[in-house]
Structure 1
């Protein structure tokens, strides 16, 4: 089956909407409590997708809110440097959200510490954001469950984005990106809120656990059978949904993982073989890399196999790249060899 992501001519821009963050990481695997310095990287789930697609030569627009200060300007500059359109990033008083990432070291697992409460994005008034302008002529709105998890104001922002996309006739890709710590920080009802948003999506990124949360049911199968059972239940519940993308990760050690990718359509599905990824440098942002790789193929009219392979390739590449973002060329992605590792000459 061919799933078209554009309507002839040049590819229309993908609009990525969400909070931009700064990531602070201690150097040399020093615990945060003992660190004397940190590296600063720009990130955020939706920004990671925007910059990855832009680096692959696809037009993207980032829609967000940052403070009008040096940290906000750093975030805007990172978007522009990737080739993504930063004109729709608004500025407002306040602060930029931060998170601290301590990478895994030996038997010690990696850890994320958030410092993002009350950010310019989280408190933004939806009426002040240029939704209509950003979505004009767009091929897709990409957003995630992180935005509504920020609190009641985040829910309002997510609802406004969905409403604007509907008004513009732009399909929605919704990445579940469930963050329990964010939802648990306020009197939330994630199932009801996420179900409302996913009901308007054409594409969903999420696995059987995400679907269990949405539908309030468990699935009895195992492995691929359970994933297909969950996908069919989601398709039955959400009539607008046409595609579900997911990954399956098996952790051997902190530095060695096995990863497979899957695409479920209403009529069919495709799952890749596992790729063994060794000497992992950084796994943060690998899910966003998968989303970008999958969307890269969807936008070009690829089938389920193409989308799964493209998403898996970009996700695997991201494991060897520090920071949140993966900026590789189309040639780099096409040259990906899961069995490779030698120097290309």
Structure 2
């Protein structure tokens, strides 16, 4: 199998208040870049996998800075197309203890929101790829973005490229007259690997875990309760050979439990649960899981359990790193998988 991974979606300028300050308290904002599919590409590049990020960006200095940032991490940006008015922005206020984090989007009329089918030559982009990844954020941006995403998925299917999707439901993004329930099924039908959580499955497809209240936000989450979600998703989308659910228990803004399950149609694999007590930055946590999962499924193709364990450990480490990108190595993830979570100084 070819190991090159292509991801497609929006990358934004992230402007975050420092030191847990609220928006109205801070007179400074820290600038970084991030976005679901770009975050996955950075993770994979850090693990030594050839990763290419595809998007549409404006021709200005902010976009150039963004591309330079991606290149710094070893991500191939040669398939990015240019045009449109602006790079999207999101503002982040990091929560603490009982106060939740807040995100304010300023991404209307971004370059990728105005993308149209035919702007990207997908046969050329995917010719050396073994894997294509997208998230539910992209088709939420506009009809054009949804159409371009469908064009990419169908091309990947024709070319025998594995397709993965992180369902990533964001209710505040679906603004152009269609709902996720109307748009997503046609796209997900072309996917070989599906990732989501209980809210994604319920809000997009009306699929609920048996015996679980999706409004639950505290404490431990029982992995076995989610086998029914995996079975229902696989029944709805039979192309999907693997369905993965991330399991987050939110005790407070700084203290989460984190795990996941993987269902391959025959067996439900469960990962250890990590108790993350001092979260530095949880934005990009799901993307770091997906990056770890893709790496694991490529590197350990016959060992779904190990791939899942790698994804959960990688994402656990992301919660200790500021910014959207998970800047960890394979060795660091594998050390955590072996039980070395002491945080002792490496000399």
Question: The residue matched to 2:55 in structure 1 has which SS?
Answer: strand
Give the aligned partner of residue 279 of structure 2: 280
How far does residue 128 in structure 1 lie from its aligned partner after superposition?
1.5
Task: Confirm or deny that 1:143 pairs with 2:134.
Answer: yes
Tell me how far apart the structure 2 counterparts of residues 54 and 302 of structure 1 sit (CA, whole Å). Answer: 22
Give the aligned partner of residue 240 of structure 1: 239
Give the aligned partner of residue 224 of structure 1: 223
Q: Is the CA contact (8 Å cut-off) linking 2:230 and 2:244 kept in structure 1? A: no
How far does residue 112 in structure 1 lie from its aligned partner after superposition?
0.3
Give the aligned partner of residue 145 of structure 2: 154
Give the aligned partner of residue 263 of structure 1: 262
Tell me how far apart the structure 2 counterparts of residues 189 and 171 of structure 1 sit (CA, whole Å). Answer: 26
Tell me how far apart the structure 2 counterparts of residues 311 and 86 of structure 1 sit (CA, whole Å). Answer: 24
Structure 1 segments unaligned to the other structure (5+ residues): 1-5
Give the aligned partner of residue 251 of structure 1: 250
Task: Confirm or deny that 1:54 pairs with 2:60.
Answer: no
Task: Confirm or deny that 1:177 pairs with 2:168.
Answer: yes
How far does residue 217 in structure 1 lie from its aligned partner after superposition?
4.2
Tell me how far apart the structure 2 counterparts of residues 33 and 129 of structure 1 sit (CA, whole Å). Answer: 41
Tell me how far apart the structure 1 counterparts of residues 210 and 270 of structure 2 sit (CA, whole Å). Answer: 19
Q: Trace 1:33-72 onto structure 2 (pairs within 5 A).
A: 33-72=24-63
Question: The residue matched to 1:246 in structure 2 has which SS?
Answer: strand
Task: Confirm or deny that 1:333 pairs with 2:333.
Answer: yes
| Offset from partner CA, 1:131-172 (integer Å, 9 cap, x none) | 222111211100010011112222212212212212322121
RMSD: 1.6
Give the aligned partner of residue 319 of structure 1: 319
Give the aligned partner of residue 3 of structure 1: none
The partner residue of 1:188 within 178, 186, 192 is: 178
Tell me how far apart the structure 2 counterparts of residues 106 and 274 of structure 1 sit (CA, whole Å). Answer: 20
Q: Is the CA contact (8 Å cut-off) linking 2:207 and 2:232 kept in structure 1? A: no
Q: Is the CA contact (8 Å cut-off) linking 1:176 and 1:204 kept in structure 2? A: yes
Q: Trace 1:82-97 onto structure 2 (pairs within 5 A).
A: 82-97=73-88
Distance 1:164 1:150, change over 3 A: same
The partner residue of 1:342 within 322, 329, 344 is: 344
Aligned residues between the structures: 335
Tell me how far apart the structure 1 counterparts of residues 293 and 79 of structure 2 sit (CA, whole Å). Answer: 24
How far does residue 101 in structure 1 lie from its aligned partner after superposition?
0.5
| Offset from partner CA, 1:13-43 (integer Å, 9 cap, x none) | 1000001111001122222233222111110
Provide the TM-score with structure 1 as the length reference.
0.93
Distance 1:269 1:141, change over 3 A: same
Question: The residue matched to 1:180 in structure 2 has which SS?
Answer: coil
Q: Is the CA contact (8 Å cut-off) linking 1:263 and 1:307 kept in structure 2? A: no
Tell me how far apart the structure 1 counterparts of residues 253 and 198 of structure 2 sit (CA, whole Å). Answer: 24
Q: Is the CA contact (8 Å cut-off) linking 1:276 and 1:338 kept in structure 2? A: no
Tell me how far apart the structure 2 counterparts of residues 115 and 160 of structure 1 sit (CA, whole Å). Answer: 26
Tell me how far apart the structure 2 counterparts of residues 205 and 105 of structure 1 sit (CA, whole Å). Answer: 27
Provide the TM-score with structure 2 as the length reference.
0.92
Q: Is the CA contact (8 Å cut-off) linking 1:208 and 1:226 kept in structure 2? A: no
Q: Which has the higher contact order (CA 8 A, sep 6+)?
A: 1
Q: Trace 1:8-27 onto structure 2 (pairs within 5 A).
A: 11-27=2-18
Tell me how far apart the structure 2 counterparts of residues 208 and 104 of structure 1 sit (CA, whole Å). Answer: 23
Q: Is the CA contact (8 Å cut-off) linking 1:246 and 1:261 kept in structure 2? A: yes
Tell me how far apart the structure 2 counterparts of residues 76 and 132 of structure 1 sit (CA, whole Å). Answer: 23
